[in-house]
Amino acid sequence: KQEVTQIPAALSVPEGENLVLNCSFTDSAIYNLQWFRQDPGKGLTSLLLIQSSQREQTSGRLNASLDKSSGRSTLYIAASQPGDSATYLCAALKAAGNKLTFGGGTRVLVKP
Amino acid sequence: SAVISQKPSRDICQRGTSLTIQCQVDSQVTMMFWYRQQPGQSLTLIATANQGSEATYESGFVIDKFPISRPNLTFSTLTVSNMSPEDSSIYLCSVGQGGDIQYFGAGTRLSVL
């Protein structure tokens, strides 16, 4: 059974600092790994998706890496802004059309 | 990408009543998923809804408590039955596109008194 863990559970940084969010998973046989953002009381917004054959994906200030052999993915957010304050969730997909297994999330606060 | 509309966005309900949540997608999709997010927790899958067949429920969730309908390829409903305060959560539907990326609705925030 896949288990996904995100550490730390909460993170507070001053504006401008780079953010590093960690995600680990126990079963390396994944189809892809997806990073989401969730604002308080809201739904999920997909940020980046990394296919199992890929090592990283980039979108603007966001970069996500994937190391299947070690069961880890890292989300980097460069030059953080107060608007980046949210909860970030990673989720592993076992197979196409299958369910996502979510980590517990990292709650990020970027202080002006 | 898929655009998902969920209704209602929030509701406050009395213990013992039922609430039906609607999920509408702007394109035809084979699989729709219903998740629950309890306060301060991550998402847990309730069931997978395929058009034309019975929903598949995850361990700990049963059809009598969470009946699901999937009448066509763009619509699904989840009912939370005989509610108790423990059912207070955000309920989210999602769809898979191309078999891999998943998109989520804005969620339904349910409070049970």
Q: pLDDT tens digit string along B43-63?
A: 999 999 988 788 999 999 999
Average pLDDT over residues A42-54: 91
For residues B76 and B50, what is the distance between their CA atoms, to the nearest angstrom? 9
- Model confidence at B87, pLDDT cuts 50, 70, 90, reads very high
pLDDT reported for residue B13:
96
B92/A93 Cβ within 8 A: no
B9-35 pLDDT, tens digit per residue, is 999 999 999 999 999 999 998 889 999
B residues 72-111 lying closer than 8 A (beta carbon) to A: 90, 92, 94, 96, 99-107, 109
pLDDT at B97 over 80: no
Count of alpha carbons within 13 Å of A21, Cβ hemisphere only?
32
For residues A102 and B43, what is the distance between their CA atoms, to the nearest angstrom? 6
pLDDT reported for residue B98:
63
pLDDT at B99 over 60: no
Q: Mean pLDDT over all residues of chain A?
A: 93
